[in-house]
Amino acid sequence: MRRVLLALRLLLAAVFLYAAYTKLKDPWLLFAMTVDAYQILPHWAVLVVARALPWMELLIGLLLIAGLGLRYVSAAASILLGVFLAIMIRSYAKGMAIDCGCFGPGDVISAKTLARDGLLFGSSLALTVLALLRRVPSREPIAVGLVEAESAES
């Protein structure tokens, strides 16, 4: 189970880091145009999302590599990927021939992109479940607990 957890962490970290890189290497207004093409958000929100999302993806990727706060980070990744997938499904169902914006320009929403993002969402959900089920060792060493118990008895 440990190896599966590690593999999922590293896979999703690589995806989030690559997604962040493809957005951060270009001017943010290019990504803003991609976000705006979905026709969901008001103009001010498009600008906020275009500026903040790549940094959020970068942070999630780095935290997944480090394994810090895995329960929270994997849940955040699952929510983010679930929202992305739902928006893409909506756009595909409406027949919108737009870039998904996942990994830079040129990736038009198709059955292939939906399958890829569905697989990523499923992987993220699996990581979240495994992280929640994983036993976290006590942060307190056993010796400290014994010393406190002995001093309480005295």
Torsion sign (Cα): 151, 135, 3, 57: negative
As a whole-number percent, the residues of the chain with pLDDT over 90 amount to 75
Residue 6: the pLDDT is: 94
Amino acid, res. 119: L
* pLDDT, tens digit, 9 for 90 and up, residues 90-123: 999 999 989 988 887 778 999 999 999 999 999 9
Task: Provide the pLDDT confidence category of residue 25 given band limits of 50, 70 and 90.
Answer: very high
pLDDT at 107: 85
pTM of the model: 0.83
What separation in angstroms does the CA of 153 have from each of 41, 71, 143, 144? 62, 37, 16, 14
pLDDT digits (tens, 9 = 90+) for 57-81: 999 999 999 999 999 999 999 999 9
Kindly list the distances between the CA atom of residue 78 and the CA atoms of 58, 74, 89, 93, 143, in Å, as whole numbers in the listed order: 15, 6, 16, 22, 38
Residue with tokens 């008895």: 153
Residue 142 predicted with pLDDT over 80: no
Q: Is the pLDDT of residue 16 over 50?
A: yes
